[in-house]
Structures are given as C-alpha cells and as structure tokens.
Structure 1
Amino acid sequence: MYKNILNLLPYKSSFRFVDHIYSLDTDGVSGDYTLREDAFFYEDHFVGNPVTPGVIITEIMAQIGLVVLGIFLIMHEGDVYDASDEPMFPLLTSTDVAFNKVVLPGQKVIVNSKKVYFRFGKLKCDVEMLDTKGELIARGIFSGIIKNAGFKK
C-alpha cells in the first residue's frame, strides 16, 4: 500500500530496515522489520550468542519512525518528487533512546512513531519499538532533517 514511500528510501538492501508500513498519515507511522538471521552484524556481536546491536535497533526506529514519516510529510505538503533530482539524505540530528529488551536474529519488531512537530524542515517524533507480543523493546525521541531531498514545487 505504501510501496511508493518505500521506493524512495535511500538505503540498499543490506542496510534497509523496513519491510512493511501498516499505517501512515500526517500524525505518525507504524511498520515492521524482521531481522535477518544472516545479517552482517551478528557474525561478531556476540560470537556464539548473537544479539542485535543497539545502534541497529536505533537505526530501525529511525528509518521507520523518522525517515518514512519525513518523506511522507514532505510529499504531503504539496511537493512532487522528481527521481532525476539529487537523492535524499536523511540526517538524524538527535536521539534519546532507552532500551528495555534484547532483539535476537530472526525476530520481527514493530515500530510506532507519533509526530511531535514538523516545522522549518525539522521533524521530531516519539518512537517506540515493540515485539510481536506487544512488549516494549525500546522507546525514544528522534529528530532529523532530510537534505537534498529532490522535492520541487
């Protein structure tokens, strides 16, 4: 349903952490990602007992909760994306994340994000990550901007 937004994400397959978007509007976004058991970061983190690094959990939350929503909001403002323009570069400007549970290889995570504000090109969101049982994995406040977005009036 939101494939057009997913196609605009500026990540290649090895670093794209968005599988599905369930809901998306001007107030927030919900989506999921299933961690691949053969992901590059499990090889050494930790040997014999792989655990998803906190930076990857943060990246998943940022891609779904901030970047997907940011692209949607820019497009929703009446701008039109021209794929021949410069690519989008999402810039995470700040995070404050609290971790409650570990995430294991093969685990599906769900991210819900609520917009706090979007003004002057800066987006701030309250983002949470849940497991499939609805238990909280992590929660945080994320802020960012999208530079060289390729959006024209």
Structure 2
Amino acid sequence: MNSQEILNKLPYSKPFLFVDEISKIDENGVIGSYTLHEDSFFYKGHFKDHPVTPGVILTEVMAQIGLVCLGIYLLNDGFNSSSSIALTSTNIEFLKAVYPNEKVIVTSEKIYFRFGKLKCKVCMVNQEGVAVCTGDIAGMLIQNSKKNE
C-alpha cells in the first residue's frame, strides 16, 4: 500500500484533516507532515491577537499521522469503509508553541500492534527540526456495523 492509498482511506475531511503528506511508512513506523494554516477555525479566539495552535490540535495531528496512517498501513486490506481507529490513550508533553503557517513533521515508531490495538511513540518537530511535542499515543481498530432495519 502506498502513501496516496493510505491518504485516500483516512476517515477525515477538511476542516478536520491534518495530514498533507506521508514521506515514509513501513511496518515499524511513519513520517508525515502537515502545515497549520492561519485561517483554520481553531485560531479564531485562541489567544486573541497572538494565535497559538491548541494542544488538542497538535495531539490530533500526531494521532492522524502517527496512529491512523500507520494503522491503515498495518491493516492493509483489513481496513475498509466500515473501519476506524479510535484513540484510546495519549501521554503527550508539549515543549514549544506552534504558530499559524508552521509546517510540522511527525515521526511515529510502533511500540506494539496486537489484538487490534496499536501503540506508538510519537514526536513532532517544527520546520527547524526542534521538537515541539513528544509522547505515546494508542488506539484500537473499530469495525462499525450498521444493522438493516
């Protein structure tokens, strides 16, 4: 499965899609990037006149790239339109502010993938290569089922 196929399977759309590119992916991890655009909805009112990216958005960027993209890759054909990967836990340390129009790069290393649960060590760096947040993220595969009535 290539990067574009993974991006096409992501269960998100704008304005809640936080993956621009996957530059590397294999069974052990993923590297991807996203640029935080100044007109994004979450900057309006978040530190008036001096917008800063909320930590929950940085966590979501790391989860979409570092957990969901990797999970789709690992599941390959086992991930379909009725599948999703639900976040189960995070332990993130925020080290530096991220501002509008910054590009961030997320590196994720698989800690384990078993019984439908994926746990990863993630690190986000800014354009200068300085770590802005780091930690662990875990999630599990959910098979959505719709009953015919």
Fold shared, TM-score > 0.5 on shorter chain: yes
Aligned with 1:142 (options 134, 137, 141): 137
Displaced runs of 4+ in structure 1, greater than 3 A?
79-83
CA distance in 1, matches of 2:138, 2:20: 22
| 149 and 127 in structure 1: CA distance in 2 versus 1, 3 angstrom threshold | farther
Aligned with 1:127 (options 102, 122, 127): 122
| 143 and 54 in structure 1: CA distance in 2 versus 1, 3 angstrom threshold | same
Counting matched residue pairs gives: 144
Aligned with 1:98 (options 67, 83, 93): 93
1:1-153 matches, within 5 Å, as 2-75=3-76, 79=77, 81=79, 83=81, 86=82, 88-148=83-143
Aligned-residue offset at 1:35: 0.3
Tell me the TM-score normalised to structure 2 length: 0.92
Q: Unpaired segments of 5 or more residues in structure 2?
A: none
Aligned-residue offset at 1:133: 1.1
> Counterpart of 2:15 in 1: which secondary structure?
helix
State the Cα RMSD in Å. Answer: 1.4
CA distance in 1, matches of 2:144, 2:69: 13
Tell me the TM-score normalised to structure 1 length: 0.90
Q: Unpaired segments of 5 or more residues in structure 1?
A: none
| 20 and 38 in structure 1: CA distance in 2 versus 1, 3 angstrom threshold | same
| % same residue | 51
